[in-house]
Structure 1
């Protein structure tokens, strides 16, 4: 029985004793060939996603003094990333990872370089540069998740790799804004924009020059469709729910600023999102240490329910330190929820659409984050809004248990068996 087939049903005794169900730790995954390089390169290559919005905002504000214009430029970059990821992912599913990743990394780095040289004083040119940099962002996150089954030996290792992936990706949104702020303060926005592009290029090269990425070949698509990865009904339902999850995260960013003003602690504007991200890292590590004894649909629904409930204490927080502690609670469940979403995609992705499916996951979060930010602003950034968005995600995920039980795990199983 392959790993994805195991996901569709509760774990059973395989006749090899309890040792067969013992979880694999992150250290065991990182000791495997290529895993540390692939993960490290992906994190480095994705740093621009955390850096660019901050650098663009600071650059515009420094040159024109307009925070609103800077925010609009940062939003244009974020929406361009969300629009471009599925397109790049579909291209990867057709021709492999090497050529699309190289071309996109070079184009994105060139766009950041043009912004560094030309500045952001011309709104039209600045918007064009930001959109180009975003729409050509390499699909490194999706690429990595298609490679995990090729570089780990067992299903237990793959589950641990997914938790390591979901937890460590949060570091992009902790280290990225911090690095952007430090570089801009020390060397100016032009240098920060140039470094942003170079980091994306360097990380991409680190990944695509590794043997698993160079030799990966997409599975043939059985029934070509214009919908691509969106053809399975379950995939559309999952991605819609992930938009709601992203809405909760976007609303938190605005709510953190509001909380900082309300409690007289401006540092909360950065501390609350950082606390959630660090909580996600810890939650992923905890989830990896637990044995997997439930079917994928059960795990997904449980984590979604716990994620929704975890937002409630933050909505009721009455002081800055209480709010900071409460912000870590949804983070503890966010990492496990992401891992369950990866498992669901393994089960539901149509053959030949695995990379695009994971790219849509990235896009769904981007769309949701933008929607949460836009919705929370006019409402004044209430901390109850993330809880409402997470509750909506839970409602949208309720039918997933039955769909996952009936899913035919063909896509990831084919990739995994081809590597054996």
Structure 2
């Protein structure tokens, strides 16, 4: 039964005594009060993250015959999402998740309906882009909301790192199921099937999450909701820059893998290849989350970004689908550890009252990267085929690694449990 009453005080987070097993870490994390109630809704509501942009690309491509046009429409939506995500995150911190999520959901559904109608009817293309702006800019940041709930429930507990590993695995499961579902619906049912399914799942997930008021971190009184100047800090800017490069890689990979499968005469396997990439990432995230962390957080993050830079080169060697399958798995295994490290570092840098906004900046970075990677890869595919499109994730992975290397001194050197050796958020 949903808890729709005012949120009572949260129970103290469980601690992680020395000597617990890896399985015990996950059991204790899931035993956190309220966790098992918001996780299913957050999972369903997160599926559209992996469906909306790809569904837009494939729907527009079906109507126009061009990946570049489809990628451009999706890119405009992603840019709008990037511009609005921090503002939505700030509103979530200030007013609580229930009010803001419901408002964003309503506006998003209007945008999706307008996009479907404009493209299907052959309306002037500026209307396509206008609808994409509305749909993208109001996409509810369900993942950021889930991480904000974890950060409140487990503040000061080493189980928070395990919770973020679990979140990363859920993200990757989303990217296994989402693209596979979109491609199957577009290929086997209808060109608009991916976008319609995305909107339906988002509605179910958001309504379910809104019902779980007990774990909602807000609203907070205006006196305690002082705006943190997150992006004035060199350390948070570095995290955002790394994730931005990773977003470019994700955008290029999404379009290129689908085009690669089609060139091989196996269009329905495009989503499967993306799913295998996500599977490799999810397994790596779960394995990492089950391990005791002894190295400083900065060292772990830098290592994972270096591995990602190498891993995202691997799909370039995929000459056939059979060869691409293991390469996609190996490349994916480098993604989740990096994102886990980035989220853990953000928690160290940003105070609790601004964490949803902090996570939203990372969402903004991914969305901004997608807005560049998708159309860039689409244009290269139109010119030289899918293998040329795969140059985009390869180059973006190297960019992420180079950014981390050159800016490593900006990141605080903290261990898995201790506070960051940095000035309070809001002060450069």
| TM-score, scaled relative to structure 1 | 0.81
Match of 1:403 among 411, 415, 418: 411
Q: Give, in angstroms, the shift of residue 238 of structure 1.
A: 1.2
Change (3 A) 1:67 1:223: closer
Q: Give, in angstroms, the shift of residue 202 of structure 1.
A: 1.9
Q: Give, in angstroms, the shift of residue 174 of structure 1.
A: 2.8
Change (3 A) 1:401 1:162: farther
Alignment of 1:104-183 (within 5 A): 104-115=104-115, 119-122=120-123, 123-152=125-154, 155-183=157-185
Match of 1:274 in 2: 275
Q: Give, in angstroms, the shift of residue 161 of structure 1.
A: 0.9
Q: Give, in angstroms, the shift of residue 291 of structure 1.
A: 0.9
Matched-pair contact (CA < 8 Å) for 1:21–1:292:
no
Matched-pair contact (CA < 8 Å) for 2:51–2:182:
yes
Matched-pair contact (CA < 8 Å) for 1:109–1:200:
no
Match of 1:30 in 2: 30
Q: Give, in angstroms, the shift of residue 331 of structure 1.
A: 1.3
Per-residue deviation, residues 80-138 of structure 1 (Å, max 9, x unmatched)? 22222112112222222221111111211233244456645213433332221111111
Per-residue deviation, residues 121-180 of structure 1 (Å, max 9, x unmatched)? 213433332221111111221111111033348723211110010121123333223333
Matched, 1:391 2:401: no
Matched-pair contact (CA < 8 Å) for 2:68–2:375:
no
Over the aligned positions, Cα root-mean-square deviation in angstroms equals 3.3
The range that moved more, 186-195 or 36-45, is 186-195
Q: Give, in angstroms, the shift of residue 47 of structure 1.
A: 2.4
Matched-pair contact (CA < 8 Å) for 2:76–2:129:
yes
Q: Distance in 1 between matches of 2:69 and 2:249?
A: 24
Match of 1:294 in 2: 295
The range that moved more, 251-260 or 47-56, is 251-260
Change (3 A) 1:372 1:73: closer
Gaps in structure 2 of 5+ consecutive residues: 1-14, 414-419
Aligned residues: 395
The range that moved more, 244-253 or 293-302, is 244-253
Per-residue deviation, residues 275-296 of structure 1 (Å, max 9, x unmatched)? 2111111111110121111111
Match of 1:415 in 2: none
- 3-state SS in 1 of match to 2:411: helix
Q: Distance in 1 between matches of 2:328 and 2:396?
A: 15
Change (3 A) 1:44 1:125: same
Match of 1:327 in 2: 328
Q: Distance in 2 between matches of 1:201 and 1:251?
A: 28
Matched-pair contact (CA < 8 Å) for 1:207–1:213:
no
Change (3 A) 1:102 1:154: same
Q: Distance in 2 between matches of 1:17 and 1:262?
A: 53
Match of 2:41 in 1: 41
Matched-pair contact (CA < 8 Å) for 1:60–1:120:
no
Change (3 A) 1:322 1:155: farther
Alignment of 1:135-284 (within 5 A): 135-152=137-154, 155-184=157-186, 188=190, 193-214=195-216, 216-218=218-220, 224=227, 228-256=229-257, 259-260=260-261, 269-284=270-285
Matched, 1:56 2:56: yes
Change (3 A) 1:129 1:383: closer
Per-residue deviation, residues 286-344 of structure 1 (Å, max 9, x unmatched)? 10121111111111111111222223443344543222201111211211111100111
Gaps in structure 1 of 5+ consecutive residues: 1-13, 412-420
Change (3 A) 1:351 1:36: closer
Q: Give, in angstroms, the shift of residue 237 of structure 1.
A: 1.3
- 3-state SS in 2 of match to 1:155: coil
- 3-state SS in 2 of match to 1:404: coil
Q: Distance in 2 between matches of 1:323 and 1:63?
A: 29
Q: Distance in 2 between matches of 1:140 and 1:78?
A: 16
Matched, 1:305 2:319: no
The range that moved more, 191-200 or 134-143, is 191-200
Change (3 A) 1:199 1:311: closer
Q: Distance in 1 between matches of 2:178 and 2:314?
A: 28
Matched-pair contact (CA < 8 Å) for 1:183–1:192:
yes
Q: Distance in 2 between matches of 1:397 and 1:70?
A: 32
Q: Distance in 1 between matches of 2:61 and 2:390?
A: 27
Q: Distance in 2 between matches of 1:258 and 1:91?
A: 38
Change (3 A) 1:188 1:336: same
